[in-house]
Amino acid sequence: MAGCTICALGGPHKKEMRKGTPARRGDRSVTAPLRTPLLTLAAAVLLAALVADRTGLPFPRAAAVTLIALLGVMVLGRFLGLDARGRRRRRFLGFRLRDLDRLSGIEFEDWIAHVLERAGFRVTRTPRSGDFGVDLVAVRDGHRVGIEAKRRSSPVSNDVVRSVVAGCQYHRCDRAAVVTQSSFTRTAHRQATGADPEVVLIGRDDLDRLPELLIP
């Protein structure tokens, strides 16, 4: 399992996740996509001007030197896994999403347990049979979360949500979660709304935020 290489997250599955905190107005303005490139360009021009001033090089040559240096830093950072993609890869413990698609159900449970243990949870695996709808019990910060892991090729239905709610009541958990590398049906989302205990649905697009979503 640990030998898998890593690539960017993604996949063909449609994003069907539990709604989070609504975005504030103005967060996605028309000019928002242009801000980062423009700021980067401005910083590069200022840096090139500084290089020209300190070294006495003509500005075009100083700009070329600056560009080469910046590209070198970016390539090195990606190689060392220091960029955002690299951080996300480390949180996936060396797995790509398509690697998770090839795991067995038990292997997917083990992967979730390892991710949570790395994030400081104390994880207990329930018996393989008679788990009452809960595969893992994760404890941290005074919270006890019952988790049902579903490695599926199709969306997870509301039956699983109903099952994990009952299982969490049996295992005395104050929160419940269903974790899948697939997505959830609309009825599953409706079933989770207002459930007692609270149910968090964590699907394909949110797996890299698994620990934070279990205990906000």
Going residue by residue through the chain, which has 216 residues, state the pLDDT in tens, using 9 for 90 and above: 433 322 333 333 333 333 333 333 333 343 444 456 677 778 878 887 888 888 888 888 878 888 888 777 766 655 544 445 455 444 566 788 888 999 999 999 999 999 999 999 999 999 888 778 999 999 999 999 999 999 999 999 999 999 999 999 999 999 999 999 999 999 999 999 989 999 999 999 999 899 999 987
Tell me which of 79, 105, 133 is where a domain ends: 79
In whole angstroms, how far apart are CA 50 and each of 5, 56, 190?
40, 10, 58
pLDDT at 98: 87
pLDDT at 91: 52
Do 137 and 173 fall within a single domain?
yes
Q: Tokens for 23? A: 């975005």
pLDDT at 185: 97
Do 75 and 101 fall within a single domain?
no
Domain ranges, residue 67: 33-79
Cβ-proximal residues to 91 (8 Å cutoff; 6+ apart), any chain = 115, 208
Q: Tokens for 199? A: 């149910």
Do 119 and 68 fall within a single domain?
no
Q: How many domains does the chain have?
A: 2
pLDDT at 57: 83
pLDDT at 42: 80
Tell me which of 49, 79, 109 is where a domain ends: 79
Is residue 40 one of the residues assigned to a domain?
yes
Do 148 and 209 fall within a single domain?
yes
